[in-house]
Amino acid sequence: MDAAFQDFYAEKFSHCHGCGKNNPAGHHLKSRWDGDDTIARFLPKPEYSGGVPDHVYGGLIASLLDCHGAASAAAFAHRAQNREMGSEGEPIRYVTASLKVDFRRPTPMGIELVIKGKLRSMDERKVWVDLTLSANGEVCASGEMLAVRYRQ
Ligand SMILES: CCCCCCCC(=O)SCCNC(=O)CCNC(=O)[C@H](O)C(C)(C)COP(=O)(O)OP(=O)(O)OC[C@H]1O[C@@H](n2cnc3c(N)ncnc32)[C@H](O)[C@@H]1OP(=O)(O)O
């Protein structure tokens, strides 16, 4: 499988609970290209239940959108410069400045979740990303993110 966007994060940026490879207790979310959009897949462990055992905890959903959105912003910004993540030159990294999540229906446990990102727009320092999280082909949550370029 192709390398994930997060695989190109520098060691010092790889401690994120959601997606850092250097966080042994983390989720290790992996985001990749899906045509012009981005995609990640994740199967929550049983301890991430919400109020009832067969629904996913909303905080986990927000965290998956957060990490996928920030990684997608970095990938979109690289592509806008005709570069790929990990290519020569200064890496472009983003952090989440704002994330709005709409929980549209309960998210079922025990099913691989599909998280998608779509570029809405970007300017010199900001990237707006539209996000969805689906189970069984149904959108359970959607999100809007503003990611801001991290000043190294
Ligand atoms: C590097 C890889 C890490 C992996 C990331 C995984 C995803 C994450 O969980 S990131 C962690 C959560 N996010 C954070 O901790 C970020 C905390 N916030 C910050 O560090 C800063 O507020 C930061 C960097 C977002 C912006 O600060 P700063 O660099 O001083 O820029 P600032 O001038 O305030 O803002 C830049 C632009 O964004 C806008 N902006 C900033 N925050 C917001 C916001 N919440 N809503 C709307 N607009 C905003 C500003 O208005 C400004 O716009 P313009 O340039 O048009 O005037």
Contact 71, 31 (CB under 8 A): yes
Which ligand 1 atom is at minimum distance from the Cα of 19?
A: 6
Band the pLDDT of 1: cuts 50, 70, 90.
confident
Q: What is the mean pLDDT of residues 58-67?
A: 98
The pLDDT value given to residue 2? 87
Ligand 1 centroid – CA 93 distance (Å): 12
Instruction: State how far the Cα of 92 lies from the Cα of 126, in Å rounded to an integer.
Output: 12
At position 105, the amino acid (one-letter code) is R
Domain that holds residue 35: 5-149
Helical H runs in the chain? 58-80
Q: CATH number, domain at 145?
A: 3.10.129.10
ipTM given for this complex: 0.95
**Which backbone phi and psi does 20 adopt, to 5 degrees?**
-80, 130
- Ligand 1 binding pocket (C-beta < 6 A) is 9, 13, 16, 66-67, 70, 93, 95-98, 125-126, 146, 148, 150-151
pLDDT digits (tens, 9 = 90+) for 64-106: 999 999 999 999 999 999 999 989 888 999 999 999 999 999 9
Give the number of domains in the chain. Answer: 1
Q: What does the mean pLDDT of the chain come to?
A: 96
Q: List all residues 6 or more positions away from 35 whose beta carbon is below 8 Å from its beta carbon.
A: none
